[in-house]
Amino acid sequence: MSRPDIEPATTAGAAAPAVASAPLLPSFDLAAPPAAAPAPAPSIVRLDGVGKRFGDGPLVLDGVTLDIRAGEFVCLVGASGCGKSTLLNLVAGLDRQSAGTIETPAAGSAVMFQESALMPWLTASHNVELALRLRGVPRGERRTRARELLDIVNLADAADKRPHELSGGMRQRVALARALAQDRPVLLMDEPFAALDAITRDLLHEELERVWRATGRTIVFVTHNVREAVRLGQRVILLSSRPGRIAREWRVAPAASSVNGGARERRTETPEVSKLAAEITEQLRKEIRRNAA
């Protein structure tokens, strides 16, 4: 079965050569001998001193410097109103920063929001086909490609259903298939599972992780849910509030299942994940208290 094409960062557009040849950040794994460390992937999104204010309002984001590598899964957490969506919109090119620079691949990003924003009169398949059409995929190929994409999100059986016939989780799966149909190297997700019940959310976490591994996309995932961030991200970045700055970041150790290929372990329930989630939550609370004071 053909998967959506994966765009290597080095061919991602005009900005890519400068990013790829820039000096690399030091490895986080200081204990590993240099010879054994695999070469880090090139940067695909780079923010340098990014600031944002709306009109003459207060500074919403200040001095945000961030380097995201091709294929990385990064989660951005922070209190409500701290500027997470603003930051994601800047990376998506939906808005412009007031200060600093943002480098993204010329091929752009696909964005997914809390609301699936599907066309209510189109079937799941037609919603995905619409994205393929906008991308210039020939008519004769669209239906097959849409089926393949719906298959990736475990929704092939619902291809002919309209959004109102689908559950909230299914609608977000269609939205994910539609985002994949855009075939952009970067996938930006703004609290996409926040409106779902916990069991559905757990299922979608598993699916998203599988899709990420299968497609090699770079994912930037915004959430106010720390457990969700630790469950999904390889790196969790905490934003402070007013103005939004990077307060801290954590690297999440890979799950046992992805290290040795053994039985799947639900990362949400491992002691390491709980410990890290507790630590990040404490920091987040400190940020919220500091702001309320």
Ligand X SMILES: Nc1ncnc2c1ncn2[C@@H]1O[C@H](COP(=O)(O)OP(=O)(O)O)[C@@H](O)[C@H]1O
Q: Would you say 71 or 192 has its CB closer to Mg ion? A: 192
Task: Please tell me the distance from the alpha carbon of residue 85 to that of residue 113, in angstroms, as a whole number.
Answer: 10
Choose the contact partner of 240 out of Mg ion, ligand X, none; CB within 5 to 8 A by kind. Answer: none
Structure tokens at 26: 């030091």
Q: Residues interacting with ligand X, by CB under 6 A?
A: 54, 57, 60, 78, 80-86
Interaction of residue 218 with Mg ion, rule CB under 5 A: no
Q: What is the DSSP string of 179-245?
A: HHHT--SEEEEESTTTTS-HHHHHHHHHHHHHHHHHH--EEEEEES-HHHHHHH-SEEEEE-SSSB-
Cβ of residue 191: shortest distance to Mg ion, in angstroms? 6
Q: Would you say 85 or 127 has its CB closer to Mg ion? A: 85
Task: Please tell me the distance from the alpha carbon of residue 242 to that of residue 245, in angstroms, as a whole number.
Answer: 8
Interaction of residue 223 with Mg ion, rule CB under 5 A: no
Cβ of residue 57: shortest distance to ligand X, in angstroms? 6
Structure tokens at 250: 């954590």
Q: What is the contact mask toward Mg ion in residues 159 to 198, using x (rule: CB under 5 A)?
A: ----------------------------------------
Cβ of residue 248: shortest distance to Mg ion, in angstroms? 20
Quickly tell me which residue has 């992805």 as its tokens. Answer: 258
Task: Please tell me the distance from the alpha carbon of residue 144 to that of residue 138, in angstroms, as a whole number.
Answer: 11
Cβ of residue 91: shortest distance to ligand X, in angstroms? 12
CB environment 85-103: b (16+ within 10 A), e (fewer): bbbbbbbbeeeebbebebb
Q: Would you say 85 or 123 has its CB closer to Mg ion? A: 85
Q: What is the contact mask toward Mg ion in residues 66 to 85, using x (rule: CB under 5 A)?
A: -------------------x
